[in-house]
Amino acid sequence: MTRGYALDPQARELLERAARSSVPALHKLAPEEARRLYREISKSLQPPPPEVSEVVHTGFDGPGGKVLAWLYRPAGTRAGESLPVCLFFHGGGWTFGDLDTHDVACRTLANFGRFGVASIDYRMGPEHKFPAAVDDAYAALRWVLAQGTALGLDPRCVAVAGDSAGGNLAAAVALLARDAAIELAMQALIYPALDLRASTPSHFEFAQGYLLERDAILWTLGNYLEDGADVHDPRASPLLAADQRGLAPAYIVTAGFDPLLDEGAAYADKLSSAGVPVTYECFEGMVHGFITMGGVLAAAGHALYRVGHGLSQAFQIQTRMSA
């Protein structure tokens, strides 16, 4: 027992399997090898990909070159139908993860919410340091706003979402959008990294034994950040932004046995105090990364359904307001 709740039995079994495994820790590998291994592990934990009506492999010219994107149209939608769109930024500590590792999650979100999903393959560390990933993520928003109609998307109904490092990028884009007077329907942040000082109590309480370990966090931060001063930049640590007023409504999901638990909860409180509408849900028995583990954790599907439904409601509100 920790913090008054218990590990989900499926999560406990997963942790026991991980403890018995001979698979090396990702942070002990070279980045390219870590990416390969993460891709293999992700595939082994996912359910079969659900059918969607279409996946378009495309891209746009970003500030550092071509940025790849996969556009998902949910099952049951008509060709040419203009859809609201959620920009999705994958997790992986700004070091690993890609369009393929989060393909199932994006398909599932699209189908649950009946909206388009644009999954973005932003630049990562250590080859590309902060703020390269943020720059690509914000460029993706600008791309959808400019080209959405031609892509069969509704540029009046745009949201941002992501898990872990991707949740960090989604929150950073929401800040940049607010400052540029771009109105987003929602920011959906799934166990997001929001304070890169990595010093909240949950970082130490769950430092070992819960899949995401402190040594790995420090390794990914070293890959991503140019120097220690970067942690104070709100684009790196959105929780440290001076003002949250006027930000997009938020849907924040945390996991109860996750080093990032406290910063997600703190951001929900901070947004709410600034007058931002917030839905906050803690999946108390879960561990970090669970939404991409739907083959072994039933809670993955539950969380994606909840987030998809929340995004769908936000798009309906946005549509009424823009009519």
Task: Supply the residues annotated as catalytic.
Answer: 164, 258, 288
Distance CA 169, CA 162 (A): 7
Distance CA 132, CA 137 (A): 9
The β-bridge partners of 69 are 58, 120
Quote the strand ranges of 43-125, DSSP E: 54-62, 65-73, 83-89, 116-121
Token output for 175: 């800040």
Q: Which of 168, 169, 174 is nearest to 186 (CA)?
A: 174
Q: Which of 182, 185, 145 is nearest to 316 (CA)?
A: 185
Alpha-helical segments (H) within 75-212: 103-113, 132-147, 165-179, 201-205
Token output for 241: 């932004």
